[in-house]
Amino acid sequence: MNGSQVCLDILLAPKRDEGDVKQISLEGRTALVTGASGGLGSAIALTLAQAGATVAVHYRSGQAQAESVVTAIKAIGGRAQAFSADLSDHQAAIGLVQDVDRAFGSVDILVNNAGMDGTCAVVGEDDPQRWQEVLAVDLIGPYHCARAALAAMQKNARGVIINVTSVHEFIPWKGYSAYTTAKAGLSMFTKTLMATLQTRYVSRYSP
């Protein structure tokens, strides 16, 4: 099962079985997918659109790729728009959620997928600024996006936040201490939110 299907399986939406295929209706819902200009993010964005959601396609620098995802969504009759934000800047992360709110209404589905590996380097020979940048994108950005989206979700009494982690939240990756630290932190942040909110609104996916 691919990542986009897993994410859909944990969304708070009605489901009905037809053979082995789960049909999920997300009509009337707005989804924000960070890091959606390619890879897993674009697959999630397309799958959400196929289920009927209006999709905000976030990108950092790949505008052409993000616009291609928007075009693909519109080609299947969906509604989408590309949004740019540098999630290493916490104000930009908050602003991203606010921009989507203004364009489409409150975010019902937030998929924190954006991330970066950083530069391979052993501790002591690495660049502390680059180390902090990875944490800012992979951990702090999702926190600010989740915090901004959660307020509206609680007000509307509906919604879901999906944080995409990694096997490297458990498994060390030589030379990538910032990435593994960020993913482990994101996993625990997700679990803490789930405990605090009694699992409502929050889910975790580790590809």
Please identify every residue annotated as catalytic: 179
Phi, psi of 160 (to 5 degrees): -150, 140
Cα gap 118→38, rounded to integer Å? 18
Dihedral angle computed from the Cα positions of residues 24, 26, 27 and 28, in that order, rounded to the nearest 10 degrees? 160
For residue 116, list its beta bridge partners. Answer: none
- In three-state secondary structure terms, 202 is strand
Please report which helix (H) or strand (E) contains residue 205, including its range. Answer: strand 202-205
Which strand (E) or helix (H) includes residue 84? strand 80-84
